[in-house]
Amino acid sequence: MYAQSDYKNFLFLDIECASKYRSLDELQEQEPRMAELWVAKADNLRKYEDGMDGLSDEDLYEKCASWFPEFGRVIVVSIGQVKFDEIGLPQMPNIRSFYGDDEKVLLEELMGIFNAIFAKNASVKFVGHNIKQFDMPWLIRKALMYRIKVHPNLQLQKLKPWENCLLDTYEIWKFGARSSGSLDLVCAALGVPSPKTEMKAAQTSEYYWSGRLEQIKTYCEGDVKATMNVLLAMSDMPLL
């Protein structure tokens, strides 16, 4: 599917997000207008999302605020690359994580890194599972909310689908079908180790607000490694 030479242009990325505030009450205190808008969002979640019916606005905030950049905060971004040894075996990757409590500082550093990456290699592809629908749009929208400049290669609204810098393993796994699968499901199907046994994405806010950021970082890096192995497996290559 992909040759070893293709991986020179692949950077694997994953993000983890939490609710912006610990609770809906705190959101109400700090940003009352956003709290009003959350109530409308919660109504839509109960109406259109499975398993949400009967949950209170407060419960939905704790469970789902991290899904939306307007109501959440990015706390970890992990990036890594697959490299191969002289006989073509993938080496253990060097995964770098950007993380912390100051979201603006994190995003400013990250966008600076992106600018440097594109300056060095204009053909780079960011690879992730559901990166087109979640990770990269999340980061771009958050950057704009802080008035941080976004590199032209990431201004996806201007680019045709085949021109953008994203490669999505969620889309690849469709192979023309109407649906795909979660990273955990695809890992299981391909016999790839998954980090989901240690933690679930739905627990991110809970872990963050209980002071377990380092554990979230480790989990995020595990997702990056799992995505690397998914693409290696689909390319009929040895796993990391």
pLDDT tens for 148-174 read 999 999 999 988 888 899 999 999 999
**What pLDDT, on the 0 to 100 scale, is given for residue 198?**
76
Query: What are the backbone angles phi and psi of residue 31, rounded to the nearest 5°?
Result: -140, 75
pLDDT tens column, 204-227: 999 999 999 999 999 999 999 999
* Residue 84 burial class via C-beta count within 10 angstroms: exposed 0-12, middle 13-18, buried 19 and up: middle
Does residue 27 form part of some domain? no
Instruction: List the CATH number of the domain containing 201.
Output: 3.30.420.10
**Could you tell me the pLDDT band of residue 104, with boundaries at 50, 70 and 90?**
very high
What are 130-149's pLDDT values in tens digits? 999 999 999 999 999 999 99
Characterize 123-157 residue by residue with b for buried, 16 or more Cβ atoms within 10 angstroms of its Cβ, and e for exposed. ebbbbbbbbbebbbbbbbebbeeeebebbebbebe
List CB contacts of 193: < 8 A, sequence separation 6 or more. 187, 226, 229
Query: Which residue's structure tokens are 């690397």?
Result: 228
Model's pTM, two decimal places? 0.95
- pLDDT at residue number 163: 86
**Within a domain: residue 48?**
no
| Exposure on the CB side of residue 237, measured as CA atoms within 13 A | 24
Instruction: Give the pLDDT score at 196.
Output: 79
**49 in a domain, yes or no?**
no
User: In one letter, which amino acid is 133?
Assistant: Q
On whether residue 57 sits in a domain, the answer given is no
- In this prediction, residue 201 has a pLDDT band, given cuts at 50, 70 and 90, of confident
58: in domain? no
Residues above pLDDT 90, as percent of the chain:
91
DSSP string, 55-99: --HHHHHHHHGGG-TTTEEEEEEEEE---B-TTSPBPPP--EEEE
Question: pLDDT confidence of 202, banded at 50, 70, 90?
Answer: confident
Q: Which of 190, 169, 188 is nearest to 180 (CA)?
A: 169
Asked whether residue 39 is assigned to any structural domain, the reply reads: no
CA angle 8, 11, 14 (to 5 degrees): 160
Q: Residue 208: give the domain boundaries.
A: 4-20+71-234
SS3 call for 13: strand
Tokens of 107: 């995003």
- Tell me how many domains the chain contains: 1
